[in-house]
Structure 1
């Protein structure tokens, strides 16, 4: 039996409505999905954890790097003094700098293990590990020469930047949404909006100084002038209610944006932490 043009049109209309219903369920259902709030928790944790990772790695590596620069400086500027002080300085570098580097690398392995746990619990992301070491000797060798160790170190350093970006995104998205949704509470108030009270300036700078030799790295200065970013003013309750309704839709879009950023973070985490070493505490060498 052949279908009539009318039945085909009805089927097409039904398909369109089914797609619209599915899209509406996906768009508005973002508020009710647990994964949305797990993603927000992951983005919130990225900021303090990123600062903590950066502090641990930089503090632990500062002394070995400083001793290494001192040794090179002495070899270049005062080669005769190196004959007398070179051996003691080299011993200090090996006896203090070497263990500190090993501690930093061990800490990076445990911190990457923490990141894998967070990715598993909050982002539902399973990251495959490398095979566990079968002996202490193999663990020490892989600590320095395994590619996964250095991938983890690079990831932990990058988490500092990602954490700051996450915090800015969450703060701005929440403030913008609240300013719109709460419009009926503050309409006719010309002071309501998102403002920068004081200039913001961030200068990433790394300085090493030894005697008269200074290495100063400051690649770029990021600054935002004080002033008004977003202003919100309506002079009637009806307009304020309309703005509030728009704010609800904006809030839904912001939640989807948070989910999209968390998805990107998940892909990035899976790429860098794949085949990294397991934790020494949860899977020690036998």
Structure 2
């Protein structure tokens, strides 16, 4: 065997070892559990964000629609009640909308900090405004504010999807790994949630005549298609070993999802306004 071939074989072996070490080492990396923490927090935070935004924008938008509806259906009544409605919108609707946008800036800053701490990002912020007047103007007209609004609304969907992935991945892995503990319990396993029904139908038409095969319903009862039940210790140990492998894949999947969310957060929250609370404008 030549020296070149030995060197090539050694390099391939080292690459294989590095790949295995990287694949298995996901369990020992702190980044993995930081990513899982971020995915877990996305669910309650997403619910909180959409609650704040919907509540804050519902009142001014509702008032605006009420004024438009009155003006469209009862223009005379609008002339009579125009001043009181304008006072309500000006004294109640506009301040609530402004406060909601301020809350959006603060919540966006919170998301930047979470992404920096847990996902390892480094999202830059815009330069702070000089003075309260400039800060107030940027709250309304700055593009970063509205990017934050869109991001916070999307966080609701992201939180639900993250929670589903965590629950399904963790439950699936536990069911396999813990097979030796419940291998004789038929209630524990991987089963279909609902029955599957397949209705094939075939119709062919040609020059006035038709071939029509009546539909035949094929049903698979709950659990008949996919089920996992072992009744011996060796089989349970094999299933548990497979579960460990599946668990490693699931952890890598969690890391991949967190990486995508990090890129998404960087895209939408880059150069948004800094926190008003932690970085107040200069007077």
Instruction: State the TM-score, normalized to the length of structure 1.
Output: 0.86
Equivalent-residue separation in structure 2 for 1:13 and 1:196 (angstroms): 46
Instruction: Quote the offset at 1:282 in angstroms.
Output: 1.3
Gap runs ≥5 in structure 1: 199-226
Corresponding residue for 2:79? 83
1:194-226: per-residue Cα shift (whole Å, max 9, x none)?
56889xxxxxxxxxxxxxxxxxxxxxxxxxxxx
Equivalent-residue separation in structure 2 for 1:20 and 1:196 (angstroms): 37
Corresponding residue for 2:103? 107
Equivalent-residue separation in structure 1 for 2:87 and 2:192 (angstroms): 52
1:90-120: per-residue Cα shift (whole Å, max 9, x none)?
2201110000001100000000111111011
Equivalent-residue separation in structure 2 for 1:11 and 1:180 (angstroms): 41
- Match status 1:153 vs 2:149: yes
- 1:263-274 → structure 2 map (5 Å cutoff): 263-274=259-270
**CA spacing shift, 1:245–1:142, aligned 2, 3 Å:** same
Corresponding residue for 2:167? 171
1:114-169: per-residue Cα shift (whole Å, max 9, x none)?
11110111111110100100111100110000000000111000000000000000
- Match status 1:189 vs 2:168: no
The ranges of structure 1 where at least 4 consecutive aligned residues each deviate by more than 6 angstroms after the TM superposition are 195-198
**CA spacing shift, 1:181–1:63, aligned 2, 3 Å:** same
Instruction: State the TM-score, normalized to the length of structure 2.
Output: 0.87
Equivalent-residue separation in structure 2 for 1:185 and 1:167 (angstroms): 26
Gap runs ≥5 in structure 2: 195-221
Alignment length (residue pairs): 255
**CA spacing shift, 1:159–1:143, aligned 2, 3 Å:** same
Please tell me whether the aligned partners of residues 182 and 244 of structure 1 are also in contact (alpha carbons under 8 angstroms): yes
Tell which structure's C-alpha radius of gyration is larger.
2
